[in-house]
Amino acid sequence: MAHRIAVIAGDGIGTEVMPEGIRALEAAAKRFNIDLEFTTFEFGSCDYYLEHGQMMPDDWFEQLKDFDALFYGAVGWPEKVPDHISLWGSLLQFRRRFDQYINLRPCKLMPGIQSPLAGRKPGDIDFYVVRENTEGEYSSIGGKMFEGTEREIVIQETVMSRTGVDRVLKYAFDLAQTRPRKKLTSATKSNGISITMPYWDERVLEMAKQYPDISVDKFHIDILTANFVLHPDWFDVVVGSNLFGDILSDLGPACTGTIGIAPSANINPEGKFPSLFEPVHGSAPDIAGKGIANPIGQIWSGAMMLEHLGYKEAADAMVTAIENVLSEGDSQVVTRDVGGQGTTESLGRAIADTI
Amino acid sequence: MAHRIAVIAGDGIGTEVMPEGIRALEAAAKRFNIDLEFTTFEFGSCDYYLEHGQMMPDDWFEQLKDFDALFYGAVGWPEKVPDHISLWGSLLQFRRRFDQYINLRPCKLMPGIQSPLAGRKPGDIDFYVVRENTEGEYSSIGGKMFEGTEREIVIQETVMSRTGVDRVLKYAFDLAQTRPRKKLTSATKSNGISITMPYWDERVLEMAKQYPDISVDKFHIDILTANFVLHPDWFDVVVGSNLFGDILSDLGPACTGTIGIAPSANINPEGKFPSLFEPVHGSAPDIAGKGIANPIGQIWSGAMMLEHLGYKEAADAMVTAIENVLSEGDSQVVTRDVGGQGTTESLGRAIADTI
Ligand SMILES: CC(C)[C@H](C(=O)O)[C@@H](O)C(=O)O
Ligand SMILES: CC(C)[C@H](C(=O)O)[C@@H](O)C(=O)O
């Protein structure tokens, strides 16, 4: 039976890296005999917004809910549509309505990639950031008062639920159990953010009781970001709230030099709704239209999607192909950001061929 | 006329580095003919809490409010008192009640200090983080509902006021104007945190109109942390909310390798209340009692205090003394964290002597 994949390329370089993501997936599908069926959607982009006054049609949920996965490019083009409108009208809707409560991002120092950290080699950095993806600091409750006057105030509520916190912690502990080091680090800020964050800590302690084999530590987010830079080798699985996970899952890839190529998965673990796979990089309006964007983030996200669909071997083959092409580092093939003169397409083709 | 300084050493290594901070200040006072009068307080420490059931006496405000400055060590010892109690009972009270709405931290790559970032030399990194220090994410409004049940939720409100936002922005723009590059970077997350953060952006745009000579940019906090690692040379003055400023002002010093020696100032610019000067490092229970803590953060904070009191020349002399002692790097003098075998006292004395 075919796996039905909804494809939304979005904005900017999203539209350029998407074809390479699909090319690589098709290569893997062929080699491992997987039946993938891609259906492309135009909505979820700023151009769609400019034409229709909204980011997606009213029935987007109905249109997408029965797919097996969403393969997503990047959304946002601030000169066309303010970010909080484009994002809340698309990506953040998917995460919430499809209850993709896990955002998972590997941070791995890859061969051929220069880490900005002194003296770190492939193998030195290899951890996952698990981010809560539906509640917390990204709330839609709050507002403004005394608008336009000197007394103006704005308020926004952070909301954490036991359901929301426990399920992301459970996922993170389970993931830690599959890893050789069996180590979990919790991101907190309970010394300053004195209501929600002590609650988060409390739930971590509670959950830890069920996982006596996992070694657990916690850091306040300020010193944790410092430790990503100073001691990236300390980490195995790092779990954080929506905001803290967001920060750590950009900083982590930056420390591995892979911010332009890192993948991410927005997962509904129960499979009740489709999960969504997207590169960490955004739509990058500044380099859009030049054909020089690195497609690896999109391809690697495709690998995460295959793994999610149950094809671990095929996923591994895709990641190995990425590693091999990066190791070779042929300057005619790899893109500018990793030191070559290649194009989105040359790099994408090389990876697909290797698969 | 004497400047009256209230001294609160606090917990852990706070009590060890404080004498060296005072030693250096006394050396500078002598050389530059400044009259400093120190008064020591025992409260504001976890031991005080264990004895009295509160971090400070009821009349702490009265006792401290007429000092010219507070010279602070570090507070917190989680095994004795939970952090959110010790911090909200002391440091965060000072910041609020004394309206120290600016938290200022220099991030500077110093001679003799190894940056964890590849290929960065002294001079490459030199910026300030200006943090809002009284409101924002560190609010005391919120609570818990359905406690102890599956439906449990906790809510905490982020509160930003026009007064609060504008005054920190004004300080940051003014600071940028004194710097050669005249550049200001705003930390935001308006694409995800959709109520307070767009407001922050709006006020930045508004304030920028009054400073046409300052070049202004903004980054979302996730990619901003990445850029601290990838492009620390981009930054000159970085301004952020209470939480974002907190994160950036630990990450910045980490990138300059100076997390153990960085200083900070909590400033009430109008001088209506005393300002507070403290090292960035915390109380570090793990190394407390061994006499090996690096006293430079405390000494450098003392320099910021002198500058605040109007003695720029004396402050510069203190910083130069720090730089000179670090450049020499005598391993019998400097502490372990910077590659030597010296003690808190040997390093403190060397700096005082150099002054
Ligand atoms: C100890 C803690 C509450 C404090 C803060 O978050 O403000 C500290 O990290 C700081 O930056 O001074
Ligand atoms: C674009 C933005 C709203 C989004 C987020 O903050 O979640 C992005 O940074 C991400 O991490 O996927």
Contact of B123 with chain A, judged by CB distance below 8 Å, is answered with no
* Proportion of chain A above pLDDT 70, given as a percent: 100
Q: What is the pLDDT of residue A232?
A: 96
What is the arithmetic mean of pLDDT over A194-216?
97
Rounded mean pLDDT, B284-304: 96
Q: Per residue in B138-180, pLDDT tens?
A: 998 999 999 999 999 999 999 999 999 999 999 999 999 999 9
- Residue A258: the pLDDT is 83
| Mean pLDDT, residues B185-197 | 95
CATH 3.40.718.10 is right for the domain spanning A112-259: yes
Ligand 1 in reach of A222 Cβ (< 6 A): yes
CB pairs under 8 A between A and B: 208
Write out the DSSP string of A229-251.
HH-GGG-SEEEE-HHHHHHHHHH
Domain(s) of CATH 3.40.718.10: residues in chain B:
1-101+268-355, 107-259
What's the mean pLDDT in B54-69? 97
- Rounded to an integer, what distance in angstroms lies between the CA atom of residue B5 and that of residue B311? 15
What one-letter code names the amino acid at B284?
A
Atom 11 of ligand 2 has which residue's CA nearest to it? A246
Nearest to residue A126, comparing CAs of A186, A181, A188, A208?
A181
Region A325-351: mean pLDDT is 94
Of A160, A221, A243, the CB nearest to B154: A160
- B203, HSE (Cβ side, Cα atoms, 13 Å): 31
Task: Tell me: pLDDT of B123 over 90.
Answer: no
**Quick one: average pLDDT of B90-105?**
96
Span A71-84, pLDDT tens digits: 999 999 999 998 88
Across residues A273-300, what is the average pLDDT?
A: 95
Q: Give the predicted TM-score (pTM) of the model.
A: 0.95
pLDDT at B254: 95
What residue type is A179 in one-letter code? Answer: R
Nearest-Cα distance to chain B for A33, in Å, is 38
pLDDT confidence tier of residue A123, bands split at 50, 70 and 90: confident
Q: Give the burial class of A97: count Cβ atoms within 10 A of its Cβ; 0-12 exposed, 13-18 middle, 19 or more buried.
A: middle
Q: Are the CB atoms for B211 and B243 separated by under 8 Å?
A: no
Note the pLDDT of residue B42.
Answer: 96
Pocket test for ligand 2, best of A46, A55, A75, A87 (most atoms within 8 A of CB): A87
| pLDDT above 90 for A112 | no
Could you read off the pLDDT of B246-281 as tens digits, one per residue? 999 999 999 998 888 999 999 999 999 999 999 999
> Token match 């930054």: residue?
B235
Residue B2 carries which DSSP code?
P
B251 lines ligand 1 (CB under 6 A): no
* Residue A21 exposure: Cα atoms within 13 Å on the Cβ side: 35
At A111, the pLDDT band (50, 70, 90 cuts) reads: confident
A116 touches chain B (CB under 8 A): yes
Is the pLDDT assigned to residue A129 strictly greater than 90?
yes
pLDDT in tens, B227-243: 999 999 999 999 999 99
- Cα distances from B22 to residues B27, B29, B311, B346, in angstroms, run 8, 10, 16, 14
User: Mutation test of ligand 2: which of A46, A90, A91, A298 has the most ligand atoms closer than 8 Å to its C-beta?
Assistant: A91
- Specify the domain boundaries for CATH 3.40.718.10 within chain A: 1-101+268-355, 112-259
* Mean pLDDT, rounded, of chain A: 96
Residue nearest to atom 9 of ligand 1 (CA): B246
For residues A113-121, average pLDDT: 91
CB of A202 less than 8 A from some CB of B: no
- Closest residue to A138, CB basis, from B119, B151, B193: B193
**A223 within ligand 1 shell (Cβ under 6 A):** no
Cβ pair B184, B212 in contact under 8 A: no
Give the C-alpha separation, A258 to A264, whole Å.
12
CATH entry 3.40.1390.10 includes domain A1-101+268-355: no
Pairing relationship of beta strands B69-74 and A237-240 according to DSSP bridges: unpaired
Tell the CATH topology of B107-259.
Isopropylmalate Dehydrogenase (3.40.718)
CA nearest neighbour of A294 among A311, A278, A281: A281
Residue A260, pLDDT above cutoff 90: no
Ligand 1: atom nearest CA of B282 is 1
Instruction: Check residue B81 and report its DSSP letter.
Output: B
